[in-house]
Structure 1
Amino acid sequence: MSDMLFLTVLLGIIAVTAGLDCTGQPNGIYEYTCFSYVTCYQGVATEILCNSTDVFDPDQARCVTPVDGFWPCADVVNCMNQADNRYPDYNNGCHTYYTCHKGFFLGHNFCPPSLVFDFNHQLCNWHFNVVPPCGTCTDPECLV
């Protein structure tokens, strides 16, 4: 019985993420919610769940136990009135984006280095191909 419990806990802590393709990506954190984060390491995506008393702290890039007056996961977005979509995180210079689906906040995602989130195309892009406020493109073709 204890072996089964250990396996269940282990699988709950580290689970391979099918949604993120890490092929060719540098090692690092690519997605996070308040209670988990996804890393790419040597081309493999791994989801790490925080234990039941911890939350993910993006500044420390790890799960931490919140203390009185400090809740590191303060960047949760209320998606109740948002359409299903991905949205740029303006407070992070559009280098990250978040996803809303059926009124639920599904977490933040990082763009690869040097890229910003392009809301019109729903992907990370070079700033010169993205309209303001995330980019610098003023050409009407950037809207299409």
Structure 2
Amino acid sequence: MNYLAICILVSSAFIGHVSAVNCTTLADGNYELGCKSFAKCIGGVASIVDCPEQMVYNNNTGLCDDAKNVSPPCGMLIDCTSSPDGRYADKDQNCRTWYTCNNNKFLGHNFCPEGTVFDETLNTCNWENAVPPPCGTLKGK
């Protein structure tokens, strides 16, 4: 599966959540890391961990933590009170992450696979050379 297909799979999952992961061949640990949830594999069995409201995944501890203790992008809470519902490229993170606003509520950041950026036109991660600026390098036609 290529990076774009993985991103489409992850971004099409429930908003703010990771998709299911098959742990049967994976070592114990955390996978499909998102800021609001992650998959935990133990003994070949997957469980999805959703962080409580106002908490995010802390990459240093591998646990949910208060956002003020976590570095960006997960530690950054976005004000969605004046934003329409949707997914947005986080330009402060060079569009390598995206976030969701729904009912004036920030639902957290998600990560694009390496080598991709968030394409607001397609509403998914895409190769940088296929996305127009400011997120990508696609030249005008």
Place the TM-score, normalised by the shorter chain, in its bin: 0.5 to 0.7
| Contact 2:56 2:75 (C-alpha < 8 Å) held by counterparts | no
Q: Aligned equivalents of 1:21 and 1:64: distance in 2?
A: 18
Amino acid at match of 1:62: G
Structure 1 spans left out of the alignment, 5+ residues:
1-17
Deviations 1:81-119 (A, max 9, x none): 001110011122211100001111111111122111001
| Contact 2:129 2:136 (C-alpha < 8 Å) held by counterparts | yes
Q: Say which structure, 1 or 2, has more relative contact order (CA 8 Å, 6+ apart).
A: 2
**Structure exhibiting the larger radius of gyration computed from Cα positions:** 1
Q: 1:47, CA displacement in angstroms?
A: 2.6
Q: Aligned equivalents of 2:95 and 2:65: distance in 1?
A: 28
Root mean square deviation, CA, Å: 3.5
Structure 2 spans left out of the alignment, 5+ residues:
1-12
Q: 1:23, CA displacement in angstroms?
A: 6.4
Find the residue that maps to 2:49 and give its secondary structure: strand
Find the residue that maps to 2:125 and give its secondary structure: strand
Find the residue that maps to 2:129 and give its secondary structure: helix
Q: State how many pairs are aligned.
A: 115
Q: Aligned equivalents of 1:133 and 1:107: distance in 2?
A: 21
In the alignment, what sits opposite 1:62?
A: 62
Which of 29, 33, 39 is residue 32 of structure 2 equivalent to?
A: 29
Q: 1:40, CA displacement in angstroms?
A: 7.4
Q: Aligned equivalents of 1:118 and 1:124: distance in 2?
A: 6
Correspondences of 1:1-144 after superposition (within 5 Å): 19=14, 20-22=18-20, 28-33=31-36, 37-39=37-39, 46-50=47-51, 55-60=55-60, 62-63=62-63, 71-72=69-70, 74-140=75-141
Amino acid at match of 1:32: C
Identity %: 32
TM-score for both structures, normalised by structure 2: 0.63
| Contact 1:38 1:45 (C-alpha < 8 Å) held by counterparts | no
Q: Aligned equivalents of 1:58 and 1:102: distance in 2?
A: 26
| Contact 1:55 1:63 (C-alpha < 8 Å) held by counterparts | no
